[in-house]
Amino acid sequence: MKPLFITPSMVLSLLLFTMEGVFCFAQQGALGMQFQPTFNGKPVTFDSTTFLTASGARITFSMLKFYVSGITIHGMDSPSISTSDHVLVDVTEPHNVDVPSAPWGRGQAVSFTIGVDSIVNEQGPREGALDPRNGMYWTWATGYIFLKLEGTLEAPGVARRVYEIHVGGYKAPYQNTFRVTLPVEGRSWREPLIVDVALDRFFDAEPAFDITKRPSVTDARQASDVIDRLRGMFRVR
């Protein structure tokens, strides 16, 4: 029988393996995902800072809320999927959305869904994030509002007024839940993942969205026109 030699590299491997295990354990609930609103790279302060869109409107932001679910870390042998229910992210409040734990440096991408699918929409009232009291529900049609973006607009020849982008709709052909996938290769997962919500992408992605002409999006059909703009807002810093 061959004698068992323990080489320095084996010790290192064992140590790393143990450390990884320790990190995984330490990561439970400790890391998360935070959404931070920006406009052309500058942080957004709600109800105060004014920004200029490509189509020449001066806008402010008063509300950004959306439902996040199905957070998944990809790139391991099998994806690590969050089991938590829908989270209502109110970007005007401090928040930290739990994400599934992933071994050190192993996640390649994170993905999540914005919106509420047809099953949950037709299930009846739910407590917590999905409580209709949160104001994220259309009573006259199509169920939950997935995302609300509101503020004021002003432009040459256009008096200051409120704009409302409300996105919902779970029935064909206006199924407006959408999935966001972001690259996270090489991240340590030992600190929260900061996701930029680049609001300039909503207004200024080609072709530019003239908010003065469409200050109100409030049903599923209108919302289906702006899904790609919304998806494009989410970026990893």
Partner 1 sequence: MHGKHPTSSTVFEGCSVSGSARELALALIAISVAVIAHNHDNTDTARIPQPPGFPERVYRGGPCASDSAVAALGAMLFEDPILSVDSSTSCQTCHQPFAAFAHIDHALSHGVEGRIGRRNVPALQNLAWQTSFMWDGSIANLDMQSLSPITGHEEMSENLDHLLAKLNAHPTYPLRFRSAFGSDTITIPRVLRALGRFVAGLVSADSRYDRAMQGKDTLAENEQRGLQLFRRHCATCHTEPLFTNNGFASNGLQPNAASPDSGRIRITHDERDLFCFKVPSLRNITRTHPYMHDGRFKRLRDVLAHYSNTAALPDHTDPRVRAIGPLSDMERKDIIAFLMMLE
Chain residues that interact with partner 1, rule: CB under 8 A: 121-127, 131-133, 137, 139-143, 171, 174, 220-221
Q: Considering beta carbons, is residue 56 or 132 the nearer one to partner 1?
A: 132
Q: Which residues pair with 67 in a beta bridge?
A: 88
* Identity of the residue, 94 or 125, whose beta carbon is nearer to partner 1 in the bound complex: 125
Minimum separation from the CB atom of position 105 to partner 1 (A): 39
Residue nearer to partner 1 on the CB measure, 124 or 157: 124
Distance CA 7, CA 182 (A): 40
Q: What are the tokens at 172?
A: 């064909």
Check: CB of residue 209 under 8 Å from CB of residue 55: yes
Handedness of CA 87, 92, 96, 99 (dihedral sign): positive
Taking the complex as a whole, the smallest distance from the CB of residue 127 to partner 1 amounts, in Å, to: 5
Q: Compare residues 37 and 169 and give the one whose CB is closer to partner 1.
A: 169
Nearer to partner 1, 138 or 178 (CB): 138
3-state secondary structure of 199: helix
Smallest distance, partner 1 to C-beta of residue 140, A: 6
Rg (alpha carbons) of the chain, rounded to whole number: 21
Report, in Å, the least distance between residue 186 CB and partner 1. 42
| HEC string for 14-72 | HHHHHHHHHHHHHHCCCCCEEEEEEECCEECCCCCCCEECCCCCEEEEEEEEEEEEEEE
Q: How far is the CB of 121 from partner 1 (least distance, A)?
A: 7
- CB within 8 Å of 47: residues ≥ 6 apart: 60, 61, 62
